[in-house]
Amino acid sequence: MVKHLFRGSMPALITPFLDDALDEEAFKALIERQINAGSHGLVPAGTTGESATLSHEEHERVVELCIEVANKRVPVVAGCGSNSTAEALRLMAHAERVGADAALVVTPYYNKPSQQGLYEHYKALSESSSLPIFIYNIPARSVVDMSVETMARLAEFKNVIGVKDATGNLARVSSQRATCGKDFIQLSGNDETALAFMAMGGHGCVSVTANVAPDLCAQFQTFCMDKDYDHALLMHDRLFLLHTALFLDASPGPTKYALHTLGVLDHDAVRLPITVPSEACRMSVDAALRRARLL
């Protein structure tokens, strides 16, 4: 049952700002847009949501707003990661209290913990909460890679239910499937390889591109879940340039620019140290939007 709850296209939501403050009305509108477009779930306060520069109060408010607006229409996986175990515990306690369906917890960044340190971090979270936990493994940002063996040890905890895999290593899908079991939920963290990820046994994608093209990403994931890979490939080809263009400059700058260009957002403000994308990046995003037939 849990497997079917967390699947498909789950956008890693951007956090809109106005005068450097959270734009609550714009955020509510983005959530409604996602649900109306057929997104299968929502992931607030993650990397794409600029969680690293949100205050504690803003982080909690973003999660609360998402849960309130979604109103159980789709599952909400709240970003609860920190390089401090105590801080992650606090974020998880808040997410559970306000009604999140699961927590997305990134491997502790900057500290560079050992594999045993990673195990103890998630063990502490698992034992403190009944909230389902997704491990977020993204070595390019956290500078630590959870091994398949450590993940298998953590999968023994009842509420450690899956992984958002942003390693970019497609062989990990099969390795994790073999060691953690077929019911361990694997969500891709990379739009550009999501097709192969799904074909190898994945369950969905925590998608950046879904911010810009929620309906197309939802359709793509539905094709994959139905094992209709011919149509999934056509959709992948249509979106591929957009997948790559959104990362030609520091994320989520290009994504916010795309949403502003499409008229979804009235502004494309980001928070330092993220800056607005360069002219070259903006031109590439425009071309990708045209290729996807969004412009």
Is position 80 within any domain? Answer: yes
The residue-averaged pLDDT of 12-20 equals: 97
Q: Identify whether the C-beta of residue 293 lies closer than 8 Å to the C-beta of residue 238.
A: yes
Q: Which of 105, 108, 104 is nearest to 116 (CA)?
A: 108
Q: What is the pLDDT of residue 3?
A: 56
Is position 269 within any domain? Answer: no
Nearest-angstrom CA–CA distance, 133 and 104: 6
Q: How many domains does the chain have?
A: 1
Is position 56 within any domain? Answer: yes
Is position 192 within any domain? Answer: yes
Is position 204 within any domain? Answer: yes
Q: What percent of the chain stands above pLDDT 70?
A: 99
Is position 280 within any domain? Answer: no
Is position 119 within any domain? Answer: yes
Q: Mean pLDDT, the chain, as a whole number?
A: 97
The residue-averaged pLDDT of 53-75 equals: 98
Residue 120: pLDDT band (50, 70, 90) is: very high
In the chain, the N- to C-terminal Cα span, in Å, equals: 39
Choosing from 3, 28, 109, 136, which is the catalytic residue? 136
Choosing from 3, 110, 122, 164, which is the catalytic residue? 164
Does the model's pTM come out above 0.95? Answer: yes
Q: CATH number of the domain at 126, please.
A: 3.20.20.70
**Residues, the chain:** 295
Nearest-angstrom CA–CA distance, 87 and 93: 10
Chain centre distance of CA 14? 10
Residue 1 scores a pLDDT above 60: no
φ, ψ at 98 (rounded to 5°): -95, 0
Query: For residue 55, what are the domain limits?
Result: 2-226
Q: Cis omega before residue 252 (within 30°)?
A: yes
Is position 292 within any domain? Answer: no
Q: What is the pLDDT of residue 211?
A: 98
Q: What is the pLDDT of residue 193?
A: 98
Nearest-angstrom CA–CA distance, 103 and 81: 8
Q: Is 164 designated active site?
A: yes
Q: Is 256 designated active site?
A: no
Q: What is the pLDDT of residue 85?
A: 97
